[in-house]
Amino acid sequence: MKIKGRVFILKDKDGNLIKDIDTDQIYHNMYLHITDINEMGKYCLGNLEGYENYPELAEKNDIIIAGHNFGAGSSRQHAVDCFRALGTGCIIAPSFGAIFKRNAINSAFPILECPHIEELIKSGKLSHGEMVELDFESGKVIKDNGEIIECKKPSKVQIEILKAGGLFEYGKKTG
């Protein structure tokens, strides 16, 4: 699976990737009554300081980059679904909150772990706004100039569920 999209980096005031972004910052609990995924996009990152207007800036296939433990906190599927609603291409972070990670995998939403992503950004190897192509199964980010950034390869189960189109379909095949 290949995804071509714009790099969108979530940084704090000091220019560091924002760590420990909690699900209440991604999708606030005041909107948890919503069950229609099409209504979820407009609240995406709505409680993350500096990124409240992300839904207006969002482009299809955005490749969002964030810090350690992205999606910490609650079990809400909305925190994944709001990105799916916006057509986000992938989220890359050094690590993810355990439940967020499962929720993303189960709904066939691509996420990649990339432990050294912050160093690459700081050394100018990857910039906000540039277009890159992702070769998801190999965990590679390919820049326009052909340079390759290696992330961790997704696990077998992650690839299988993604290919099946989600846990329900995967379960019908394997369960």
Partner 1 sequence: MGKTIVEKILSEHTKDEVKPGNVIWLDIDVRSARDFGGPNVVKHYREHYDSEPVDNPQKTFFTFDLVAPAKTIKYAINQSICRKFAKEQGIKVYDVGSGIGTHVLMEEGHIIPGKTAVGTDSHYNIVGAIGAFGQGMGDVDITFVFKTGRTWFEVPKTVKIKLKGTFEYPTTAKDLTLYILKHIKTDFALGRAIEFYGEAAESLPLYGRITLLSMVTEMGGIIGYVPFTEKTVEEVKAFTGRSDFSPTYADPDAEYEKEIEIDVSGLGSQVAAPPHPHNVYDAQDLKDVKVDMIYIGSCTNGREEDIESAWKILKGKKIKDGVVLSITPATRRAYKKLMDKGILQELFEMGAIITNPSCAGCAQGHPGMTGEGEVSLNTSNRNFPGKQGKGETYLVSPEVAAASAITGRITDPREVL
Amino acid at 105: I
* 13 lies in the binding site for partner 1 (CB under 8 A): no
Structure tokens at 153: 């390869």
* Nearest distance, CB of residue 142 and partner 1, angstroms: 28
- Three-class secondary structure of residue 11 per DSSP: strand
Task: Tell me the residue length of the chain.
Answer: 175
Choices 115-123, 124-132, 136-144, 165-173 (CB under 8 A): range interacting with partner 1: 165-173
Binding mask 78-117 for partner 1 (x = CB under 8 A): --x--------------x-xxx-xxx--xx----------
SS3 100: helix
Q: Is 168 in the site for partner 1 (CB under 8 A)?
A: yes
Shortest distance, position 46 Cβ to partner 1, whole Å: 9
Interacting stretch for partner 1, rule CB under 8 A, among 27-35, 58-66, 85-93, 131-139? 27-35
The residue (of 5 and 110) whose beta carbon lies closer to partner 1 is: 110
Cα 75 from Cα 101, distance rounded (Å) = 10
CA distance 106 to 90: 14
Tokens of 102: 């499962």
Distance, CA of 53 to CA of 45 (rounded, Å)? 8
Q: Which helix (H) or strand (E) holds 79?
A: helix 78-86
Q: Shortest CA distance to 121 belongs to which of 107, 110, 137, 132?
A: 132
Q: Which of 5, 43, 65, 74 binds partner 1 (CB under 8 A)?
A: 74
CA gap 80, 144 in Å, rounded: 28
Site for partner 1 contains 156 (CB under 8 A): yes
Q: Tell me if 22 contacts partner 1 by CB under 8 A.
A: yes
55 is a site residue for partner 1 (CB under 8 A): no
Applying CB under 8 A, the residues found at the interface with partner 1 are 19-20, 22, 24-25, 28-30, 32-33, 35, 47, 49, 68-69, 72-77, 80, 95, 97-99, 101-103, 106-107, 155-157, 166-168, 171, 175
